[in-house]
Chain A
Amino acid sequence: MHNNAFFHFLSLLLFKQKNKHIGAIFISVIIIFLLSSVLFISSSLQKSLQSMLKNQPDFTISRLQAGRAVDTPTEWIEKIVQIDGVSAVTPRVYGRYFFAPNENSFLIVGVDFFDEQSNRSLQELMETTDLKSFFAMPSMLVGEGVQKFMTAHYYSDSFSFKLPNGSFKKVAIAQQLPSSTNLIANDMIVMPLELAKEIFAMEEESITDIALNVPNDAEWDTIVGKLHLLFYDAQVIDKREISKAYKSLYNYKGGLFLILYLITIITFMLILYQRYSMVYSAEKKEIGILRAIGWSIQDILKLKFYETLVIVISSFILGVVLAYIFVFIFDAPLLQEIFLGGENLANSVVFVPTIEFGILGSLFLFFALPFFASVLIPVWKIAVTPPKEAML
């Protein structure tokens, strides 16, 4: 009952003094919006990359020569297959094709389409493509970035790859990969394995590397040891290392992000301090009057605490919701370009909704605590002043 009267008065003050709070709410919403957008983008990218990793081979093994990766002999496959605990040993062919020296490049990935699983995956991806014509002549699937690049360079239906021996190989563009795959496939070209080998002038008995699975994780270290024993010049990369690399890729705790957060919080506190000091004299009188008519310091602090809480919660929710809409419904138009950078082909990615509640909670604390401090400390200072002085 008592609280009913208190909240009634609280809502009176909030609504009748809207103008006092609008500025602070506006700034808070913008800051939360920016920070949440950055958070959503980075968590979404991380989540997408990590979730794709689940379908990836546990290990890849390639050959090193003088510390450089070179083509891997296919005979390694037979030896690897014989190791106990190893499964799904698959040859991979891929490489970067440079449109012109030091210019943009494409990642060419060769796939054995006659493999049952690959065939099924291809059909799932390319619902509208006529698979017969795809296999009838040299054809490829290109990522969105590649398609745009080729169109800009007047290659609409096909592209002639320049082979190392100086000849050209014309390959038809069967279809563009869905733009929802841009995260990994923006600069990718998928083509039959033999065609890829032809373009890179790889020898028949060579492949780029070998992918394999080890279903029992307890055996991973053992298998790595065995592989190194079998091939002294092998480089073995396991999924755990890739996962670590992805984790640091848009790590919100590191480098750029930390600086961004710190600058934002400091700016925010400065703005709030300035904002609330502007209304200081009006606030002082209001508190003095309430004190004079019988409000205790406790009552004043309670009022201002709840007033600030309403503002903090509303600003936070609005900021987060706007950020969510900006990132996951509109795919973060300008911000995306800052994240994705300009290296190689310009990319635009569809962000999969990801909310990390723990981090949002920390963001709330980082935002709420300075806000409360910048409001309640001056209020307390005024409240402890004798009311007569405060009303002057």
Chain B
Amino acid sequence: MGWRVSRELVVGFVFLGLLVSGLMVHYLLYSTPKEQNIQTLSRLTTFSSPSLSVAFYEPRLPSGNAMHPSYPSMPSLNKRGFIYAQ
């Protein structure tokens, strides 16, 4: 009786241990080719700045471009592109 129940606890912890071990194995052996590409490109271009969408995060509005109805040539109301052009 008791040993069976205690075994459940042990099995639970062994399972968690396996999860953590799997995680560590993945972490330590993560394939570097993916990392290497980005390093190669940054060496090639001498650029490492994050692309615009990474550097300046603005929430994506589902409505897309909010154009001013009376002045369509005006910059979009929900974008700050004029700053980022610098």
Q: Do chains A and B touch in the complex (CB under 8 A)?
A: yes
A347 with B30, Cβ < 8 A, contacts A181-B37, A181-B41, A318-B16 known: no
- Tell me if A96 counts as interface (CB < 8 A to partner B): yes
Q: Are A353 and B27 in contact (CB under 8 A)?
A: yes
Q: Are B16 and A317 in contact (CB under 8 A)?
A: yes
Chain B interface SS verdict (over half)? helix
Q: Are B44 and A111 in contact (CB under 8 A)?
A: yes
With a CB–CB cut-off of 8 A, which chain B residues contact A347? 51, 53-54
Q: Are A15 and B5 in contact (CB under 8 A)?
A: yes
With a CB–CB cut-off of 8 A, which chain A residues contact B70? none
Residues of B in contact with A, size category: 35 or more
B46 interface neighbour in A14, A57, A69, Cβ under 8 Å: A57
Q: Are B84 and A344 in contact (CB under 8 A)?
A: yes
Identity of the chain A residue whose Cβ is nearest the Cβ of B12 in the assembled complex = A314
With a CB–CB cut-off of 8 A, which chain B residues contact A181? 37-38, 41
| B-contacting 9-mer, from A117-125, A257-265, A267-275, A376-384 | A117-125
B2 interface neighbour in A8, A57, A211, Cβ under 8 Å: A8
With a CB–CB cut-off of 8 A, which chain A residues contact B37? 125, 178, 180-181
Q: Are A184 and B35 in contact (CB under 8 A)?
A: no
| B-contacting 9-mer, from A101-109, A157-165, A217-225 | A101-109
Please report the C-alpha to C-alpha distance between residue A146 and residue B71 in the assembled complex, in whole angstroms: 28
Please report the C-alpha to C-alpha distance between residue A16 and residue B84 in the assembled complex, in whole angstroms: 60
Q: Are A56 and B46 in contact (CB under 8 A)?
A: yes
Residues of A in contact with B, size category: 35 or more
Please report the C-alpha to C-alpha distance between residue A349 and residue B79 in the assembled complex, in whole angstroms: 22
Q: Are B38 and A52 in contact (CB under 8 A)?
A: yes
Interface centre among B45, B51, B60 (most CB of A within 10 A): B51
Minimal beta-carbon separation of A133 from chain B (angstroms): 19
Q: Are B42 and A349 in contact (CB under 8 A)?
A: no
Interface residues in B36-81 by Cβ distance below 8 A to A read 36-61, 75-76, 79-81
Please report the C-alpha to C-alpha distance between residue A48 and residue B34 in the assembled complex, in whole angstroms: 11
Please report the C-alpha to C-alpha distance between residue A223 and residue B43 in the assembled complex, in whole angstroms: 23
- Tell me if B14 counts as interface (CB < 8 A to partner A): no
Minimal beta-carbon separation of A68 from chain B (angstroms): 8
A8 interface neighbour in B5, B26, B34, B55, Cβ under 8 Å: B5
Please report the C-alpha to C-alpha distance between residue A53 and residue B53 in the assembled complex, in whole angstroms: 19
Interface centre among A49, A90, A92, A242 (most CB of B within 10 A): A49
With a CB–CB cut-off of 8 A, which chain B residues contact A107? 47, 51-52
Q: Are A340 and B20 in contact (CB under 8 A)?
A: no
Minimal beta-carbon separation of A12 from chain B (angstroms): 5
A344 with B53, Cβ < 8 A, contacts A11-B9, A102-B76, A328-B26 known: yes
Contact with B along A345-370 (1 / 0, CB 8 A): 11101101101000000000000000
- Tell me if A288 counts as interface (CB < 8 A to partner B): no
Please report the C-alpha to C-alpha distance between residue A26 and residue B52 in the assembled complex, in whole angstroms: 37
With a CB–CB cut-off of 8 A, which chain A residues contact B55? 249
A190 interface neighbour in B12, B44, B58, B75, Cβ under 8 Å: B44
Q: Are B51 and A341 in contact (CB under 8 A)?
A: no
Minimal beta-carbon separation of B86 from chain A (angstroms): 8
Could you give 15 example pairs across A and B, Cβ below 8 Å? A11-B9, A90-B46, A94-B47, A105-B84, A117-B43, A178-B37, A180-B35, A180-B37, A184-B38, A246-B50, A329-B26, A340-B54, A341-B60, A343-B80, A346-B53
Q: Given A105-B52, A143-B51, A341-B56, list of 11 further CB < 8 A pairs?
A: A56-B46, A107-B47, A124-B36, A184-B38, A185-B41, A188-B45, A190-B41, A211-B46, A338-B57, A338-B59, A343-B52
